[in-house]
Amino acid sequence: MLAAESLLFSRPALSPQQQELAKAIADSSERMGDLVRELLRLSRMDSDLGNWVEIELQSTLEAVVSDLEAKLQETGASIEIRGPLPPALGNASLLREVFQNLLENAIKYGGEDGKVGRVLVEETEAPWARVCIAIEDDGPGIPEAERDLVFRPFLQLHRDQGKEGVGAGLAIVRRIVSVHGGAIRVEEGKTLGGARFVLELPRPGTIDTFAG
């Protein structure tokens, strides 16, 4: 237990003002620990790559949606996968983390004016030797001037106010995609009208070696 947290249970009991200060210190310490852990993950990303394999994106995304079932029930949000999705080439565990992060973000920021959030996953047009998957939510979207900023670690934008997290998730996503030789961008939603993240990955059978 952190020293600041132990103060909350000290005897004699702290005054309400002292309890509020101790809680604020404990929360700040926890956030700092999260920041350090995420920075370490970013720095060690290359060592986690291993060998590339052919990955069935359809089953990968279905597994991620299954993992998010509790969050979907809690929020009432829904995720539609318009498949079948094509296979891609890469590291299975890292790409699963990419989709987990993007879908969690879509659930977090989806929905407006009290409406239940909706998320759409679909294949979209891709250049040769690439696979493109789009994940779109029905939230307020991201202004064009801020679309590149969302990938910067620990930068809190206006849309992040009141949301949990330390702001490293999308930076990790971009890092994983980059070491795969791919790309990720944000567009205006085409179907649901919110933010649309388009993920570009290598297609199996088009390259023989690691592109990072």
Task: Return the pLDDT at 200.
Answer: 96
Report yes or no: 152 and 166 within 8 Å, Cβ to Cβ: no
Task: Return the pLDDT at 17.
Answer: 73
Rounded to whole angstroms, the Cα distance separating 143 from 195 reads: 9
Rounded to whole angstroms, the Cα distance separating 193 from 133 reads: 17
Tell me which residue of 108, 109, 57, 116 sits closest to 82, measured CA to CA. 57
Instruction: Name all contacts of 149-155 with Cβ < 8 Å and 24+ positions apart.
Output: 150/186, 151/184, 153/38, 153/39, 153/42, 154/35, 154/38
Does pLDDT of 42 surpass 60? no
Task: Return the pLDDT at 176.
Answer: 87
Q: What stretch of H or E contains 115?
A: none
The first and second tokens of residue 25, run together, are 């210190």
Report yes or no: 56 and 86 within 8 Å, Cβ to Cβ: no
Cβ atoms < 10 Å from Cβ of 33: 12
Does pLDDT of 116 surpass 90? no
List, for residues 14-39, the tens digit of each pLDDT value: 677 766 766 666 655 665 655 556 55
Tell me which residue of 105, 109, 122 sits closest to 190, measured CA to CA. 122
Does pLDDT of 114 surpass 80? no
Averaged pLDDT, 60-75: 94
Q: Confidence band (pLDDT; 50, 70, 90) for 2?
A: very low
Does pLDDT of 184 surpass 60? yes
Give SS3 for 197.
strand
Q: Looking at mean pLDDT, say which of 31-35, 41-45, 115-119, 149-153 comes out highest.
A: 115-119
